[in-house]
Amino acid sequence: MAIITKLLFLCFLVFFFHHANAQNLALNFYRRTCPSVESIVNRTTASFISRAPSLAAALLRMHFHDCFVRGCDGSVLLNSTANNTAERDSIPNLSLRGFQVIDAVKTAVERSCPRTVSCADILALVARDAVSQIKGPFWQVPLGRRDGNVSISNEALTNLPPPFFNATQLVASFAAKGLDVKDLVVLSGGHTIGVSHCSSFTTRIYNFTGRNDADPTMDPNYVAALKARCPPTDTTTIVQMDPGSFDRFDTDYYTIVRKRRGLFESDAALLRNNVTNAYVQQHSSSSGSSSFFQDFAASMVKMGRIGVLTGTAGEIRRICSVAN
């Protein structure tokens, strides 16, 4: 009995500290230690996005890939070492772009506030600023994350949802991170910007069931257009996910999904679940983007709290790609 009581107490402590951590983030976390952090991040990010708006998509995706693997702890930024292959070198992360932006922002922040602001916080702020700089929503980012010093390639494979996931698998993948079905459909709206390599969807257009067929849930005209652009074994060509406005943050994604022109099975899957389907229908018919923008902001804040390290856990990295 005594053992059971002790075990229950231990479980309580683990649960309590886990939750206390996520709640320890604060909007004014650097008020005394680095009051100018947000303006430095914003200015440096803008210097990149103004020249290359397509980087906004890359930076948003990088934050997502950070948070889904070991929480938002900057582990996606770490380089592999002689005896460890890091997340950054796992298959889903080979198409990440924009590490140079994070490095430049970190250098600028270190100049004003040495060893104070974590790379995990910088990534969360850069993702927010990048989205808002291409006319997307703006949200306040709770801060105070600390950097992890562990990054394992295989964990990216097991934690990041692949493009061939169906609705049930996607819901489970998000639930495992404390995100609900609404977060899934809202955050998938991030695919209103950015590009994809053909290789992320060639099976879907060329060999869906192993019989040289295409996914019947995709608009056949779009299948034909994609085939014209993407030869079966192509590994380098990229396609805009929201053709024509891939660097403007808007509600087009939901129109695309409704028209059965989403690139991935994971996009098409949103029509298969009642909650996500209703959201797609509503946001593809309304011309206003404000409720999507509000929802996106709220879900990004929620995603940004996944598994964060706070207090004395982890470290404040000096260089984002290398543990101290």
Footprint (CB under 6 A) of ligand HEM, residues 222-241: none
Rg of the chain in Å (alpha carbons)? 20
Interface with ligand HEM, residue 193, by CB under 6 A = yes
Binding mask 72-111 for ligand HEM (x = CB under 6 A): -----------------------x-x--------------
Interface with ligand HEM, residue 200, by CB under 6 A = yes
CB nearer to ligand HEM: pick between 74 and 314: 74
- The answer to whether the annotation marks 85 as part of a ligand binding site is no
Angle between helices 181-188 and 274-285 (to 10 degrees): 40
| Binding-site member from 58, 78, 205, 320 for ligand HEM (CB under 6 A) | 58
Interface with ligand HEM, residue 25, by CB under 6 A = no
Q: Is 20 exposed, middle or buried (0-12, 13-18, 19+ CB in 10 A)?
A: exposed
Q: Are 112 and 40 in contact (CB under 8 A)?
A: yes
Give the shortest CB-297-to-ligand HEM separation in angstroms.
11
How far is residue 176's CA from residue 168's CA, in Å, rounded to a whole number?
12
> Which CA distances in Å does 206 have to 153, 215, 238, 243?
29, 8, 17, 21
Footprint (CB under 6 A) of ligand HEM, residues 244-303: 264, 266
Footprint (CB under 6 A) of ligand HEM, residues 155-174: 161-163, 165, 170
How far is residue 52's CA from residue 115's CA, in Å, rounded to a whole number?
29
Give the shortest CB-154-to-ligand HEM separation in angstroms.
18
Q: Are 55 and 49 in contact (CB under 8 A)?
A: yes
- The answer to whether the annotation marks 308 as part of a ligand binding site is no
How far is residue 45's CA from residue 48's CA, in Å, rounded to a whole number?
5
- The answer to whether the annotation marks 252 as part of a ligand binding site is no
Give the shortest CB-224-to-ligand HEM separation in angstroms.
20
Interface with ligand HEM, residue 133, by CB under 6 A = no
Give the shortest CB-196-to-ligand HEM separation in angstroms.
4
Neighbours of 277 (CB within 10 A): 17
CB nearer to ligand HEM: pick between 302 and 317: 302
Q: Are 297 and 137 in contact (CB under 8 A)?
A: yes
| Active site residue ranges | 65
Place of tokens 């489970």: 172
Neighbours of 258 (CB within 10 A): 17
Residues that bind ligand HEM (CB under 6 A): 57-58, 60-61, 64, 95, 97, 161-163, 165, 170, 187-188, 190-191, 193-197, 200, 264, 266
